[in-house]
Amino acid sequence: MDVRTAKANGIEIAFETFGSACDPPLLLVMGLGMQMLAWPDEMCERFAERGHFVIRYDNRDVGLSTHLDGVSAPTYLQTLFRQKPPPYTIDDMADDAVGLLDWLDLESAHVVGASMGGFIAQSVAVRHRSRVRSLTLMMTSTGSQLVGRPKTAVLLRLLRQEAAADRPSMQAAALDLARVIGSKGYALDEEHLADVAGRSFERAYDPDGYWRQVAAITAQRDRTRLLRQVRVPALVLHGLHDPLVGVSGGLATAKLLRNAKFVAYSGMGHDLPRALWREVIDEISSLTARVESEPVPSF
């Protein structure tokens, strides 16, 4: 695909599009340390075939978007106990997404966020309600420490993440992590994971950017009260066996949103197995089609 760059929120955002710009826009927001490549080409193409103008992009500090080189991140404990602020916040990253919509001259979009991308998508809906036609949240939570808690061993595994020295070590690390947080009820697509990890390493690998994003996640605010005010049609998708963001996080999010459908998948962990792509595309496309046929007033 043709990677383009937008000037948004004071930084540069690298993005790609699929499908016709005449179709309803679908903005895909990825999670911690993951480049837009983690939204599979095949999935993006299927969305485009279903009548979406698909936009995937690199968050700040990953891929070809702006990296805050030279800005050190506080440690996890420093951020957790509010001893040092993060270099930026989830709200800043939400403003990046809206800045990209501005650059594309799009008044609004169907917003889909996965994991940290779900935090960002929620913040977009809270801070910029008129810009969100529908909201899909995958394997994410409310920001409250009371729900969606990770298993301790899994959290420690993420906090021990070591920098990869080369492409093979990056691929090995990605597969190792997938075996820890991925879907136990579905086959591990090692070839796909290794391909994405390898291309990500060659494209723009930045372990320091990973820790700055960790700080943003750790410092995020509790959106419980704010989510009650979000009325756009919403879809919350979550794995029943997610060890990183417990299913209680997805359930709590769906209950807070006034117009949400909750869909759970047995055997799904903190990833999106190929076997579920079609179901997920169907769920999201059904939501967007309903919104487009029966426009919902802005609140």
- For residue 221, pLDDT over 50 is answered with yes
Q: What are residue 257's phi and psi, to 5 degrees? A: -70, 135
We report the CATH number of the domain holding residue 274 as: 3.40.50.1820
Band (pLDDT 50/70/90 cuts) for residue 297 is low
pLDDT the model gives residue 288:
98
The amino acid at residue 6 is A
Question: Does some domain include residue 200?
Answer: no
pLDDT bucket at 1, cuts 50 / 70 / 90? low
Please report the pLDDT score of residue 299 as a whole number.
45
Grade residue 23 by pLDDT with cuts at 50, 70 and 90: very high
Q: Which domain holds residue 267?
A: 4-159+207-293
Total number of domains constituting the chain: 1
Strands 53-57 and 25-29: parallel
Tokens coding 147? 């729900």
Tell me if 192 is assigned to some domain: no
Q: What percent of the chain has pLDDT over 90?
A: 97
Tokens of 93: 């990253």
249-274, pLDDT tens digit by residue?
Answer: 999 999 999 999 999 999 999 999 99
Q: Tell me whether residue 197 is in a domain.
A: no
pLDDT digits (tens, 9 = 90+) for 79-108: 999 999 999 999 999 999 999 999 999 999
> Residue 47: CB partners within 8 Å, gap ≥ 6?
18, 19, 26, 54, 281, 284, 285
**Would the pLDDT of 296 be above 60?**
no
Between the CA atoms of 15, 3, 198 and 72, what dihedral angle is there, to the nearest 10 degrees?
Answer: -50
| Cα three-residue angle 196-273-197, rounded to 5 degrees | 15
The single-letter DSSP state of residue 56 is E
Phi-psi region of 273 (alpha: psi -120 to 50; beta: other; left: phi over 0): beta
| 194-213 per-residue burial string, b: 16 or more CB within 10 A, e: under 16 | bebbbebbebbbbebbbbbb
Residue 227 domain flag: yes
Asked if residue 188 belongs to a domain, the reply is: no
Residue 199 lies in a domain: no
Confidence of residue 169 (pLDDT cuts 50, 70, 90): very high
3-class DSSP assignment, residue 201: helix
Whether pLDDT at 298 is above 60: no
166 inside domain: no
In a domain, 191, yes or no: no
Mean pLDDT of 140-145: 98
Its pTM stands at: 0.97
Q: Residue 9's pLDDT is what?
A: 98
| 101 touches 131 (CB < 8 A) | yes
For 184-201, what is the mean pLDDT?
97
Query: What is the rounded average pLDDT of the residues 153-164?
Result: 93
Q: Is the pLDDT of residue 198 over 90?
A: yes
pLDDT at 294: 79
